[in-house]
Amino acid sequence: MSFLIKIISKLPLNMLYNLGNFFYLLSLVSGYRSKVILKNLKIAFPNLNEEEREKLKRKFYKYFFELIAENIKDFDPSWKDHKKHVFIENAEMVKNLTNKNKKVILMLGHHGNFEWLSVIPELLQENVYAVYNEINNKSIEKLILQKRAKYNLGLFPMKETYKFIESNRDHRAVYGFIADQSPHEGRIHHRSKFFVENTPTHVGAEKIAKMYGMALVYLECVRLSRGRYVFKPVLITENPQEFPDYQLTDLYNQLLEKSIREQPEIYLWTHKRWKHLRPGVYQ
């Protein structure tokens, strides 16, 4: 599988987009994860009728296969054109924090092409570290880590998050956390409003920020056109200890929800974001 990915990644990006268009048309027939997508859309946008949700699903499918094309191209080790496609607006805001020897946590969601954000160390001119989930197929995992490390993005496994941060002596460290996954049912410590009330929410980023006095920044993604994204840092707080528990997580969810409402088709509706809602919250 890893060999095949390497071969396909050598194709020009426009050709990969054309392949993506083919699979988009195929998805309209096969209905790839259609039930999951429509259920998520019904939870998030209850005021839309069935026809409107179907239209939004098709727009998502179109983007989803373009996203796959972009991420396949990223596996080509010789392709380093990210700075033609990914931009950071107001990078000085993050720089101002690190200039104070303030460590920073960037919180983002599965909105837009977060994989192409591996170029962020060059865009920010800072040392950036990101957590990753280990997978069983180690040859694929190695390929993914190589892809993400093209621009010297520091990577550490999720199970070693606290150990890594505790031992990292980089006083200007910037950490990236994708914080919109659904936590395991036995590890739900907080339920937040994210489109609907009582959405189980990860609180790790907030907890780490409070432990080490890190600034919290939401990194908004805006898709400008096919293959062009701008990321906009939004300061949540420089002083997380001043906030009651979970309030910062709630603020992050509000910011992410706003971004999704503005460009709903580029959110990853295929994952089961609301699978652990309390009985009666959504029927």
pLDDT in tens, 234-272: 999 999 999 999 999 999 999 999 999 999 999 999 999
pLDDT for 215 beyond 50: yes
Distance between CA atoms of 135 and 143, rounded to whole angstroms? Answer: 11
- Burial group, residue 88, by CB count within 10 angstroms (0-12, 13-18, 19+): buried
Looking at residue 281, its pLDDT comes to: 57
Residue 8 zone, left/alpha/beta (φ > 0; ψ -120 to 50; rest): alpha
110-121 pLDDT, tens digit each: 999 999 999 999
Give the residues across from 88 on adjacent strands: 231
Confidence of residue 107 (pLDDT cuts 50, 70, 90): very high
Contact yes or no for 132/157 (Cβ under 8 A): yes
Cα end-to-end span (Å), the chain: 40
How far, in Å, CA of 144 to CA of 229, rounded?
21
Mean pLDDT of the chain: 94
Rounded Cα distance, 138 and 279, in Å = 38
- Alpha-carbon gap, residue 112 to 118, rounded angstroms: 13
Residue 43 pLDDT more than 60?
A: yes
Q: Residue type at 257?
A: E
What is residue 282's predicted lDDT score, i.e. its pLDDT? 57
pLDDT tens digits, one per residue of 131-166: 999 999 999 999 999 999 999 999 999 999 999 999
Task: Check residue 275 and give its pLDDT.
Answer: 87
Q: How many whole angstroms separate alpha carbon 59 and alpha carbon 68?
A: 15
pLDDT per position as a tens digit, 56-82:
999 999 999 999 999 999 999 999 999
H or E, element range at 17: helix 13-30
Long-range contact set of residues 252-257: C-beta below 8 Å, sequence gap at least 24:
252/107, 252/179, 252/205, 252/206, 252/216, 252/218, 253/180, 253/192, 253/193, 253/194, 253/199, 253/201, 254/193, 255/218, 255/220, 256/108, 256/109, 256/111, 256/180, 256/194, 256/218, 257/194, 257/195
| Residue 283 confidence class, pLDDT cut points 50, 70, 90 | very low
**234's tokens:** 């939004």
Extract the tokens encoding 40: 């998520």
Specify the pTM. Answer: 0.94
CA distance 223 to 62: 14
CB contact burial 44-55 (16+ within 10 A = b; e otherwise): bbeeeeeeebee
The residue among 199, 156, 211 whose CA lies nearest residue 40 is 199
Residue 189, C-beta contacts closer than 8 angstroms, at least 6 positions apart = 183, 203
Q: Count Cα atoms within 13 angstroms, Cβ side, for 159.
A: 2
Predicted pLDDT of residue 76? 95
Looking only at the bridges linking them, the beta strands covering 228-237 and 215-225 are antiparallel
